Amino acid sequence: MGHLLRPTSTLPSFRRTSPRLKLSQVPATGKTGKLSLEPFCVFAYFVPLEEVVRSVRYSPRFFGIRAMKSVVFGSMLAGALGAAGALLIRDAWQQAPVQAQDLFAPPAPAVSGPAPRAVPQPLPTLPREAAADPLAEFTPEERVNIAVYENCNRGVVNISTKVVTESLFFDIPSEGAGSGSVIDQAGHILTNLHVIDDAQEIQVTLFDGETYTATLIGKDPTNDVAVIKIEAPAESLFPIYFGDSTKLKVGQAVFAIGNPFGLERTLTTGIVSSLNRSLPGRSGRAMKSMIQIDAAINPGNSGGPLIDSRGRLIGMNTAIASKTGQNTGVGFAIPVATIARVVPQLIERGAVVRPDIGIARVYQTEAGLLIAALTGGGPAEKAGLRGPQMIRQRRRQGPFTVESQKLDLSAADMIIGVNGERIKTADDFLAIIESHPPGSEVTLTIVREKQEYDVRVRLGLARD
C-alpha cells in the first residue's frame, strides 16, 4: 500500500505511478501567503493491491497468505497515518500563520521561575535641537498664524453696550456687542461708531478678564470711526501698531481678530479679495477705498482689527455683504490710511476737522461735475468759480406781463480735475479735497464756454 513520512530516496522498490499528496500544495490563508514546504518535502505513497500481489509473486521475501495479510494491513495503516498527519499540519497552519521551518523545529526547553516581564519600547521623540523649538512641529504657514495671534490677541478688546430707547409709556433697554483695538497705553480704544453710537453705558473687557467703563472721546460719522477711552493700568494695555494699507495686494494673507457671538479674541484667516471698494456711509456719503476680504466676519467682529502677516494693523473690520446677517465670505474693512488720518483729530479735538471748498451741490455727468450751487461768500465763489445763472424772462399774456425765472445750467463751470488728477464722481472729488488741511490751496481744472481753465482755490474750514 505505501510508506509514510519517508524521504523519496528511501523507496526505490516502488514505482511512482500512484497519486500522491504533496504538503506544499495545501493552500494557506494566513498573512504570509501560500505555504511552501519544499525544503522539507514529505510524501505519502498509496500502493494498489495488485502491486503488492505482484511483489509477493516475484519477491522471495513475501510468501504465503499470512505474509500478504501483513503487508496489506501495514500499508493500510501507513496510508491512514499519512493522511491524518497531512490534515493535522494543514489545520495547524490555517489557525496560525507560521513559518514552515517552525513546524519541524524542536520544542523549546522549559524555563523555570516567573515569566519574564515585557520591556517597554521607548516612544519616538524629536531630535534635541527640534525639541528646544516649541514651533518645530508646525508648518511655516501655521507658525505665521500662531505668531500673529500671540503678538496681537492681547490688544483686542470686547465691547458691550447698553442702550435705552424711550417709548410712549416706558423705556426699552437693549444691549450690543462689538470689538476694538488698543492703540496706546493711555487707554484709547479704536472701534466702529455703529458699535457704541447712542449707548448710555460702554463696558470694555481686556484679555485678562478685567472690565472697565469707557467714555467716548471722538467720532467721525462719515467714516464710521470712533475712539473711546478706559482708565486701565499701562501694563495691561498692549497696543496694536499701525501698518500701511496703501501697499496691500490682492491675494495677500490677512487675519481678523474679534469677538463674534461673544466668543472673545477669535482668530479667522483669509486673503485680500479686492481693493478700493465703496460702501454707503452713515452720513449719506460713500465710504471710499474699502478693503474686501474673505476672512470670516460675523456679528461681534465689528470694530476689530484686520492684521497683516507681520502683526500690523492694516484695517478695521466694519461690514459684511449678507442677506442673513451671517458670514458669506464677503467682508469689508476701513483701511488704516483713513484711520491714521482721522484718529489723531478725534483724540485731539473730538471731531474731524475737514476743509471746505464752498461748493454746496454738483450734478454728476459723463463729462465731469457741473456746479449746481455755491456757498455764498465761500472759497469757490471768492476764487471766481461760477454756478448756474438765473435768467429772468418777461412775456405778455393778454393784458398782463408775466415774469418767470429760468435756471441756465450752461453758464455753470464743469469741474474735470483736481491738482492735475481727473475725476469722475463726487466721491472722488471730496476724497481729494479732504486729504488737504484747511488753509491749503488746490487747483481745479474746469471747462467754461468749451475752454479749459485752471483755478486756484484756498480751502476754508468746514463747519458741522
Positions annotated as catalytic residues are 194, 224, 302
Q: Cell 493522511, residue?
A: 83
Going by C-alpha positions, the residue among 363, 361, 384, 364 that lies closest to residue 374 is: 361
User: Could you give phi then psi for residue 158, rounded to 5 degrees?
Assistant: -105, 125
* Contact in structure between 171 and 226 (CB atoms under 8 Å): no
The contacts found for 11-17 with CB under 8 angstroms, 24 or more apart, are: 11/45, 13/55, 14/45, 14/47, 14/51, 15/51, 16/45
Cα separation of the two ends of the chain: 123
DSSP string across 161-186? EEEEEE-SSSEEEEEEEEEEEE-STT
Alpha carbons 242 and 344: distance in angstroms, whole number: 13
Contacts of 91 (CB under 8 A, 6+ apart): none
Q: What is the DSSP code (8-state) at residue 108?
A: P
Alpha carbons 419 and 416: distance in angstroms, whole number: 10
39's grid cell: 525544503
Q: Hey, which residues does 173 pair with through a beta bridge? A: 164
User: Could you give phi then psi for residue 176, rounded to 5 degrees?
Assistant: -135, 165
Going by C-alpha positions, the residue among 86, 92, 94 that lies closest to residue 34 is: 94
Alpha carbons 320 and 304: distance in angstroms, whole number: 13
Going by C-alpha positions, the residue among 33, 13, 16, 15 that lies closest to residue 24 is: 33
* Contact in structure between 203 and 213 (CB atoms under 8 Å): yes
Alpha carbons 308 and 152: distance in angstroms, whole number: 11
Q: What is the DSSP code (8-state) at residue 196?
A: H
